[in-house]
Amino acid sequence: IGTKAGFSQKQEASKWELRQTAVVVLLLLVVGFLAYGLFFAPALFMDDWTSVVERIVTDNAQWLDLSQRRPLLFSTFLLQNQILGLNIPAYYVSLWLLYVVMAFLLYGIISELPLPYAGLFGTSTALLFLVYPTNYTHMWLIQFGIYCATVASLFYGYLLLRYAQGAGWI
């Protein structure tokens, strides 16, 4: 009986965590949309044109360019172009989604830390990350590669934290 009760409590706790995570994801999506989607007007800023779109349009972007300081710089833009075509509004939507994913991963990392009210602290931090005006290049197309690298780094940090907590190899 003790085993059944323990299993039932774990199952209920898991359902609660899933609901809590779903609410946080929904909240981050809504706040992200309010912050970046309401006044969405896709415009190409100078850096966006000269550093991203022009090179793709003129076929001057290479997957690997060993003559540059950053040889893989255009690989993310070329991948985005392969998937979405030359669709500037879709590029901005992908930036927005990556930014929300970064906020969610930040929440995931902080909420896993052994802190009192870690979930609340993680949610607050992720929300501030979305709206705090320390970075005015949130929606510049040139940020796509940086956001991809940041998502990969945050995801790695989350997995490393979970591993350190004994959650298995993943």
pLDDT tens digits, 123-137 = 888 888 888 866 667
How many whole angstroms separate alpha carbon 76 and alpha carbon 15?
A: 37
What integer pLDDT is reported at residue 42 of this predicted model? 63
Low-confidence stretches of the chain (pLDDT < 50) are none
Quote the pLDDT of residue 68: 77
What integer pLDDT is reported at residue 2 of this predicted model? 52
The encoded tokens of residue 30 equal 């809504």
Close Cβ partners of 84 (under 8 Å, ≥ 6 residues apart): 90, 91, 94
Phi, then psi, of 3 in degrees rounded to 5:
-70, -40
Q: What is the CA radius of gyration of the chain?
A: 20
How high is the pLDDT of residue 150?
92
- Find, among 98, 88, 107, the residue nearest to 147 by Cα: 98
Query: pLDDT tens across 46-65, in order?
Result: 677 777 777 777 877 788 77
Report the pLDDT value the prediction gives residue 69, as an integer from 0 to 100: 82
Q: Are 159 and 170 in contact (CB under 8 A)?
A: yes
Q: What is the pLDDT of residue 138?
A: 72
